[in-house]
Amino acid sequence: MDQGDSKDTTHFGYQQVPVGEKARRVAEVFHSVADRYDVMNDLMSFGVHRLWKRYTVNLAAVRRGERVLDLAGGTGDLAERFSHLVGPDGEVVLADINASMLRQGRARLVDAGVAGNLRFAQVNAEALPFPDNHFNLVTIAFGLRNVTDKAAALRSMYRVLKPGGRLLVLEFSKPVLPGLGKIYDAYSFTALPLMGRMVTGDAGSYRYLAESIRMHPDQQHLREMMVEAGFERSDYYNLTGGIVAVHRGYKF
């Protein structure tokens, strides 16, 4: 669990809740927003989330024939790109703990004609049901902050990676440009819930989003957690002034 959590409780946004309750509450959030998830991503980030994901895909340096696990893959935008890159001899597993999000991803990718080298799996990142040393690449984009026990999830990701494999974590982080934090806070706690209410009828889920970002480990802390999980050459790249960061680590 994260620093600051007790043995029996963890944070859900700014609330402390029983450990066993967080996964249920997070599931309710994503069940609520699944059918409007992509629309809200474009609105909230002014489309910039597409550039963040493109940067992550480029940093992944996926090669043909590789095996990729995309955790918290949601509607499948990363998985779709990886599917083209690994080719017919490779494999991409689009995985998510939330059934509603997984259904959205499967429907979108099937409609797009991307299915030949794709598999879908409903999994918990803390206990991945895959063999040791199985994947060349594991990615998790905007999902790690929703995991109850992040350290356990990072260890699980490390286990399923092949030697020489790499993990990429794309996640909201802590702004590093002077003055950006105050602007970002004002936007997050006013505009996001308002947009959520107007587009999805659910302001609370987007208030949780803003709170969950503030409770997520900052860049250096997450890097240290990856090192503790066994990853080597762990580093990170700040995007948009540190509002988002891409973390990368290797298993050797």
pLDDT per residue over 216-243, tens digit each? 999 999 999 999 999 999 999 999 999 9
Pairing of strands 244-250, 232-239: antiparallel
Q: Write the single-letter amino acid at 80.
A: E
193 belongs to a structural domain: no
Task: Please tell me the distance from the alpha carbon of residue 239 to that of residue 175, in angstroms, as a whole number.
Answer: 9
182 belongs to a structural domain: no
188 belongs to a structural domain: no
Q: Which CATH number do you get for residue 210?
A: 3.40.50.150
17 belongs to a structural domain: yes
Classify 46 in phi/psi space as left (phi over 0), alpha (psi -120 to 50) or beta.
Answer: left
222 belongs to a structural domain: yes
CA distances from 59 to 191, 237, 242 (A): 31, 10, 17
183 belongs to a structural domain: no
118 belongs to a structural domain: yes
Task: Please tell me the distance from the alpha carbon of residue 69 to that of residue 16, in angstroms, as a whole number.
Answer: 31
- For the chain, the domain total comes to 1
75 among the known binding-site residues?
yes
Task: Please tell me the distance from the alpha carbon of residue 247 to that of residue 141, in angstroms, as a whole number.
Answer: 10
Q: So what's the pLDDT on residue 73?
A: 93
4 belongs to a structural domain: no
pLDDT in tens, 89-145: 999 999 999 998 899 999 999 888 887 899 999 999 999 999 999 999 999 999 999
125 among the known binding-site residues?
yes
Nearest residue to 109 via CA among 233, 188, 148, 101: 101
Instruction: Give the domain extent around 74.
Output: 9-177+206-250
Spatial CB neighbours of 192, under 8 Å, sequence gap ≥ 6: 44, 206, 207, 209, 210
Cβ 40 vs Cβ 48: under 8 Å: no
